[in-house]
């Protein structure tokens, strides 16, 4: 986190960002994280501003896209999925951006999808953004190693199953950089407020919720000394957590690069 | 009867009961597309189903095949003709029946 003096100095930049209303989030989207039975599932990889279905950034070719399947006490099995990616155009409410899709044949247990994207050049900030992202899909209720680090350079390790949260539960995660906790990491939290429409590769126009004031569209929280953060889940649906700028002095092509970690959860109403 | 063994016995009983409630047996079967079917078994607490008895039952109740979950908690068999039911038998209260119509790709 910047000092208050630094914040003052960069006040103009902060103000500029605030008018954008929501934050960058790398998505790995599939309609259901907790499947009753296996089968073929769609996956869409989109780098966008999910709360307001805002500007969708052009994704480059991912550096890595793979899944780690674990079931019960079995050894984890890693499968590369990069070769199966197909380029698509994803339409948000403001523009259309380059994105990726694939399908995956899911059997039982936990499937930890991991995306290491090519860094995105954010000209406005004269810097790159690289959001290493995880989504965990469970089939049939048999757990695997959802709670173990995959070993991504930046990673959020869930401390509760990201696919079994009721509305009103908390979600906790631990932010890691190269396997070590990141004390006081800054995390942005955003609700997937526009339904992704998989047939048309776009977001629904109508938002699920409206905000009383701009602070609510992207919420900022901080991890504790062990890199652990806690978030109470107020509504069913997808919630994204982006831990920002975890590696000081991280660069890409001789420019600063914000080295982020993203995880998504899907909460359900209890009734 | 002294108090101590009674307490121990009660504690043991409690633990057994708790364990039974904390894990639910799970079994799903998948069509491998090559005329074989693989069933994956386990428990909701993530524990292994290795060694659990497996039976394939015909519609008339006769047993077509018998075996056990392997080290990876899977059981693969050749698809029999007609309708059948897969029985995952981890003991009383821990039996799962998978009808052939529920077997997916």
Looking from the CA of A100 toward its CB, the CA atoms found within 13 Å total 24
Interchain contact A39–B (C-beta under 8 A) = yes
Average pLDDT over residues A94-114: 97
Q: What is the mean pLDDT of residues A29-42?
A: 96
| Cα-based distances in Å from B62 to B1, B5, B66, B67 | 50, 46, 11, 15
pLDDT tens-place string over residues A124-164: 999 999 999 999 999 999 999 999 999 999 999 999 999 99
Identify the band that residue A60 occupies on the pLDDT scale cut at 50, 70 and 90: very high
Does residue A269 register a pLDDT over 60?
yes
pLDDT computed for residue A4 by the predictor: 56
Mean pLDDT for the stretch of residues B68-84: 96
pLDDT value, residue A167: 98
The confidence score (pLDDT) of residue B92 equals 86
Partner-chain contact A71 B47, CB within 8 Å:
no
Q: In the predicted model, is pLDDT for residue B21 greater than 60? A: no
pLDDT score for A186: 98
Q: Distance between CA B43 and CA B60 in Å, rounded?
A: 29
State which residue of chain B sits closest to A144, comparing Cα positions: B46
**Parallel, antiparallel, or unpaired for β A255-267 and B25-31?**
unpaired
Please give the average per-residue pLDDT across B24-52, as a whole number.
95
Number of A–B residue contacts, CB under 8 Å = 54
A12 confidence band (pLDDT: 50, 70, 90): very low
Q: Specify the 3-state DSSP secondary structure of B14.
A: helix
Could you give the C-alpha distances from A5 to A8, A201, B94, in angstroms and in order?
5, 43, 63
Would you say residue B7 has pLDDT above 50?
A: no
A255, A127 Cβ separation under 8 angstroms: yes
- B26:A140 CB<8 A: yes
The verdict on B85 touching A (C-beta cutoff 8 Å) is no
> What whole-number percentage of chain B has pLDDT above 70?
79
For residue B49, give the nearest of A40, A72, A144 by CB distance: A72
Report residue A269 as tokens.
């109403």
Contacts of A48 (CB under 8 A, 6+ apart): A24, A25, A27, A54, A55, A56, A57, A90, A92, A97, A203
Those residues whose C-beta lies under 8 Å from the C-beta of residue A86, and which sit 6 or more positions away, are A100, A101, A102
What's the CATH superfamily of B24-102?
Macroglobulin (MG2) domain (2.60.40.1930)
**What CA–CA distance (Å, rounded) separates A262 from A239?**
11
Residue A143 is nearest to which of B28, B46, B72, comparing CB atoms? B46
Distances (CA, A) of B81 to A147, A157, B33, B59: 42, 46, 15, 11
Q: Is pLDDT larger for residue A4 or for residue A211?
A: A211
Taking contacts as CB-CB distances below 8 angstroms, the residues of chain B near A142 are 26, 40, 42-44, 46
Nearest to A108 among B40, B102, B105 (CB): B40
B100 touches chain A (CB under 8 A): no
- Exposed (0-12), middle (13-18) or buried (19+): which is A73, by Cβ within 10 Å? middle
Asked whether residue A15 carries a pLDDT value surpassing 70, the answer given is: no
- All structural domains of chain B with their residue ranges: 24-102
Q: Quick check: A146 and A136 in contact, CB under 8 A? A: yes
Closest chain A residue to B27, measured at CA: A140
Do A136 and A162 form a contact (C-beta atoms < 8 A)? yes
Backbone angles phi, psi at A250, to 5 degrees: -75, 135
Say yes or no to pLDDT of B10 above 70: no
Two tokens at B90?
């981890």
* Burial track A115-125 (b if 16+ CB lie within 10 A, e otherwise): bbbebbbeeee
**A37 contact B CB<8A:** yes
Report the SS3 class of residue A118. Answer: coil
* B83 pLDDT higher than 80: yes
CB contact under 8 A, A72 and B43: yes
What are B28-37's pLDDT values in tens digits?
999 999 999 9
Average pLDDT on A109-116 reads 98
**What pLDDT sits at residue B23?**
81
How far, CA to CA in Å, does A252 sit from each of A62, A249, A263?
15, 10, 22
Tokens for B5, please give them: 């063994």
**Greatest C-alpha distance within chain A:** 54
- Picking from B40, B70, B101, B102 by the largest number of A CB atoms within 10 A of its own CB, the best residue to mutate is B40
Q: Would you call A249 helix, strand, or coil by DSSP?
A: coil
Q: What is the ipTM of this complex?
A: 0.78
Mean pLDDT, range A226-244, rounded to an integer: 98
Nearest to B28 among A38, A105, A144 (CB): A38
Identify whether the C-beta of residue A23 lies closer than 8 Å to the C-beta of residue A218: yes
Closest by alpha carbon to B48, among B80, B72, B15? Answer: B72
CA distance A161 to chain B (A): 12
Decide if B32 touches A, using CB distance below 8 A: no
Please answer whether residues A150 and A68 qualify as being in contact, where contact means their C-beta atoms are separated by less than 8 angstroms.
yes
CA A181 – CA A15 distance, rounded (Å): 30
pLDDT of residue A8: 55
Contact A74 B72 (CB under 8 A): yes
Say yes or no to pLDDT of A31 above 60.
yes
pLDDT score at B104: 80
């Amino acid at each position: 986190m910047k000092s208050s003096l630094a914040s003052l100095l960069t006040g103009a930049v902060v103000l500029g960002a605030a008018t954008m209303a929501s934050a960058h989030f790398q998505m790995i989207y599939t309609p259901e994280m907790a499947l009753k039975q296996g089968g073929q599932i769609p996956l869409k990889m989109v780098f966008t501003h999910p709360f307001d279905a805002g500007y969708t950034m052009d994704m480059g070719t991912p550096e890595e896209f793979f899944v780690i399947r674990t079931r019960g006490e079995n050894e984890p099995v890693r499968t590369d999925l990069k070769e199966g990616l197909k380029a698509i155009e994803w339409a948000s409410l403001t523009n259309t951006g380059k994105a990726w899709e694939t399908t995956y044949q899911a059997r039982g247990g936990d499937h930890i999808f991991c995306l290491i994207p090519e860094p995105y050049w954010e000209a406005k900030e004269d810097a790159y953004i690289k959001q290493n992202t995880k989504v965990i899909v469970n089939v049939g209720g048999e757990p695997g190693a959802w709670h173990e680090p995959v070993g991504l350079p930046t990673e959020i390790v869930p401390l509760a199953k990201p696919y079994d949260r009721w509305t009103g539960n908390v979600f906790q995660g631990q932010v890691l950089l190269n396997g070590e906790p990141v004390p006081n990491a800054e995390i942005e939290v955003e609700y997937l407020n526009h339904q992704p429409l998989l047939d048309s590769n776009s977001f629904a126009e109508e938002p699920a919720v409206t905000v009383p004031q701009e602070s609510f569209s992207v919420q900022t929280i901080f991890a504790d000394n062990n890199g652990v953060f806690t978030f109470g889940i107020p509504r069913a649906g997808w919630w994204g957590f982006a831990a920002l700028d975890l590696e000081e002095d991280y660069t890409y092509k001789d420019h600063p690069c914000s080295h982020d970690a993203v995880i998504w959860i899907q909460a359900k109403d209890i009734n | 009867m002294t108090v101590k063994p009674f307490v121990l016995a009660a504690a043991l009983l409690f633990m057994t009961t708790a364990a039974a409630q904390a894990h639910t047996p799970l079994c799903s079967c998948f069509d491998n597309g090559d005329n074989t079917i693989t069933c994956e078994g386990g428990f909701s607490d993530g524990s292994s189903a290795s060694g659990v008895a497996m039976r394939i039952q015909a519609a008339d109740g006769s047993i077509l095949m018998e075996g056990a979950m392997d080290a990876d908690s899977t059981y693969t068999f050749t698809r029999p003709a007609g309708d059948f039911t897969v029985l995952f038998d981890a003991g009383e209260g821990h039996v799962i029946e998978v009808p052939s119509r529920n077997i997916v790709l």
